[in-house]
Structure 1
Amino acid sequence: MYRNLILLLLISIAAYTNGNSQDRILYKEVDTTKLFMEVYQPGNIDPAKKYPAIVFFFGGGWVEGSMKQFEPQAKYFSQRGMICFLVDYRIRNKHQTSPFESLKDAKSAIRFIREYANRFHIDTSKIVASGGSAGGHLAAATALIVDYNESTDNLSISCVPNALALFNPVIDNGPGGYGYERIGKAYQAFSPMHNIKKGAPPTILFLGTNDNLIPVQTAKNYQGAMEKVNSRCELHLYEGQPHGFFNYKNFEYYKKTVSKFDEFLQSLGFIEQKEQLKIE
């Protein structure tokens, strides 16, 4: 099985390096489950250069969802000179799995991208993890959570991203927080809020003030905890907006959040400080 996986990886990466703007790549195989990621790259890749990357994780409560959720964002930021990945991972409705398997897959995805960074022309010091809702949890957890690693992963390869962009993220899984009924006492090792530590990556967090799942105070508490360990955390609140307000179908707020995301990446030196592209 392992040999077959490596063969498929090499075939997929070979297709990618032939200059396709978007490709589907197998990154993990667990029993009979194959997990893929879609890759969006700038139009004209210079093989001599290294590019920053964004890894997107879709939302859906670790139960449902589509890797296509962040396709508009991936298309935009690939035009801004980034390699973007839309990652599939195990979810309950499709794979009969728990949130713990979802996190294992998220970590595996970032390790895969780091392992093949040269093939993807990626600067491994400029990898951003991003996601919405439960996908936001996964992005934050790759940076903060030590446990829940796949037994087949090469743990010498870091799964910790260099920055985070979180869209109404599930960041508190403790008592009273989202998902506690499924996580239980494991929240202490699973909840990003309970594992913020020195060296946490710079973070931008987007939240609507009418979110019925993530209280504004939770986001403010997260920002405060980040600041206590001297880590940057920008919190952007959008008055009256509900959960999922940032999605493309809500175009006004899709544009606003993409624009702030762009500014954040400029401030980190991940993309050029120039006039933003038209957001469409």
Structure 2
Amino acid sequence: MKKIIFLLFAILPFHNTQAQEIKTMTYFQNDTLKLDLDLYLPQKKTNEKIPLIIFAFGGGFSGGERTSEKDFGMFMAKNGYAVASISYSLYMKGKDFGCKGTLTEKIKAIQIGVSDMWQATSFLIENANKYNLDTSKIFISGISAGAEIGFHASFWDYKLMNLYKNNLPENFKYKGFIGGSGAIQDINLITKEKAIPMLLAHGNNDDTVPYAAGSHRSCPTNASGWLILFGSYAVYNHMHDLHKDIELITFCGGGHEFSGYLFHDGKQYVLDFVNDVLKGKKFESHLIIPSGKKGPGSGKYLFCE
């Protein structure tokens, strides 16, 4: 039985926080590319290893900054978690990532971003002892394009899809995934064996990244940039069928403007999620938050199931 929660107002308190330490470092460099990350570290109290959340920003693979979610990194560090906010290759900069773009280029942009994420993960694993990180408790997260990176990094076969060297540990698996308005190309990549706990948030009226199954940017099927994607609601139903742990926050009537919610106003949800996963708690829930938008011409608020 699915657990559905209706919430009229979701105003979550959070404290003004400050990370104990922020380190900027280069995790990948070759003749043409240099990629950095910012590592937010909590105050070290004991020799206990620190769980890590790796974060990828949004921006359609053409823009965005790793520093955009500094408050999220500071908040999680204040609460005992390390956060690595990464830069990644903006392959679509100056190119069309929409309906008039090229399908192969759009897929390549995702693959490059995912490969960068795997490089960052490998770098952090290799340097885990230096920063007291727990390599068995690495979460992955992202907004929009960053959430697409997170989805595919979690479920693609890195030995086949990695554009760089295959350097992740054998049978490596992220501990959980936190995604804002993301989607995956093939939902069948999420199997019982590969499934990891997820916390997802999405507007059900998102015309940029589909909430359920649909085309990216709502492109028609005859568009050169037509790409089918499975969004948060499709993933939620799929995980339900697999009897795997998932939480979905739906903004009823909301669009892509809610993609950053979990890392802005919803940081407490993220904290509760990672705490529950690390405690081994089992869960499945669907939280529905009215966005305040009304149905076309009806004067009534949209209804979400």
Shorter-chain TM-score category?
Answer: 0.7 to 0.9
Return the offset for 1:87: 0.4
The answer to whether the Cα contact below 8 Å between 2:28 and 2:34 also exists between their aligned partners in 1 is yes
Instruction: Give the residue type in structure 2 aligned to 1:131.
Output: G
Question: What's the counterpart of residue 117 of structure 2?
Answer: 106
The answer to whether the Cα contact below 8 Å between 1:197 and 1:229 also exists between their aligned partners in 2 is yes
Structure 2 residue 267 is matched with structure 1 residue 258: yes
Question: What's the counterpart of residue 149 of structure 2?
Answer: 138
- After the TM superposition, which of the residue ranges 117-126 and 227-236 deviates more from structure 2? 227-236
The answer to whether the Cα contact below 8 Å between 1:208 and 1:240 also exists between their aligned partners in 2 is yes
Question: TM-score, with normalisation over the residues of structure 2?
Answer: 0.68
Question: What's the counterpart of residue 53 of structure 2?
Answer: 54
**Would the alpha carbon gap of residues 67 and 268 (structure 1) be closer, same or farther in structure 2, given more than 3 Å must change?**
same
Question: What's the counterpart of residue 196 of structure 2?
Answer: 201
| Rounded Cα–Cα distance in structure 2 between residues aligned with 1:233 and 1:61 | 25
From 104, 118, 135, give the equivalent of 1:124. 135
Question: What's the counterpart of residue 217 of structure 1?
Answer: 212
Q: Secondary structure at the match of 2:183?
A: coil
**Would the alpha carbon gap of residues 150 and 92 (structure 1) be closer, same or farther in structure 2, given more than 3 Å must change?**
closer
**Would the alpha carbon gap of residues 158 and 56 (structure 1) be closer, same or farther in structure 2, given more than 3 Å must change?**
farther
| Rounded Cα–Cα distance in structure 1 between residues aligned with 2:61 and 2:207 | 17
Which structure would you say has the larger Rg?
2
Q: Deviations over 1:204-227 (max 9, x none)?
A: 100123322233334222112223
Gaps of 5+ in 1: 1-18, 174-190, 272-280
Question: TM-score, with normalisation over the residues of structure 1?
Answer: 0.73
Q: What are the within-5 Å matches in structure 2 for residues 31-46 of structure 1?
A: 31-42=31-42, 44-46=43-45
- After the TM superposition, which of the residue ranges 158-167 and 202-211 deviates more from structure 2? 158-167
| Rounded Cα–Cα distance in structure 2 between residues aligned with 1:234 and 1:131 | 16
**Would the alpha carbon gap of residues 228 and 215 (structure 1) be closer, same or farther in structure 2, given more than 3 Å must change?**
same
Return the offset for 1:51: 0.7
Structure 2 residue 237 is matched with structure 1 residue 236: no
**Would the alpha carbon gap of residues 28 and 20 (structure 1) be closer, same or farther in structure 2, given more than 3 Å must change?**
farther
Structure number with the higher strand fraction is: 2
Larger RCO (CA under 8 A, 6+ residues apart): 2
Return the offset for 1:66: 1.2
| Rounded Cα–Cα distance in structure 1 between residues aligned with 2:84 and 2:271 | 17
CA RMSD of aligned residues (A): 2.6
**Would the alpha carbon gap of residues 158 and 62 (structure 1) be closer, same or farther in structure 2, given more than 3 Å must change?**
farther
Return the offset for 1:240: 3.4
Q: Secondary structure at the match of 1:264?
A: helix
Q: State how many pairs are aligned.
A: 229
**Would the alpha carbon gap of residues 223 and 23 (structure 1) be closer, same or farther in structure 2, given more than 3 Å must change?**
same
**Would the alpha carbon gap of residues 64 and 270 (structure 1) be closer, same or farther in structure 2, given more than 3 Å must change?**
farther
| Rounded Cα–Cα distance in structure 2 between residues aligned with 1:95 and 1:84 | 30
Structure number with the higher helix fraction is: 1
Q: Secondary structure at the match of 1:206?
A: strand
The answer to whether the Cα contact below 8 Å between 2:141 and 2:147 also exists between their aligned partners in 1 is yes
| Rounded Cα–Cα distance in structure 1 between residues aligned with 2:90 and 2:202 | 24
The answer to whether the Cα contact below 8 Å between 2:20 and 2:77 also exists between their aligned partners in 1 is no
**Would the alpha carbon gap of residues 46 and 261 (structure 1) be closer, same or farther in structure 2, given more than 3 Å must change?**
same
Instruction: Give the residue type in structure 2 aligned to 1:21.
Output: E
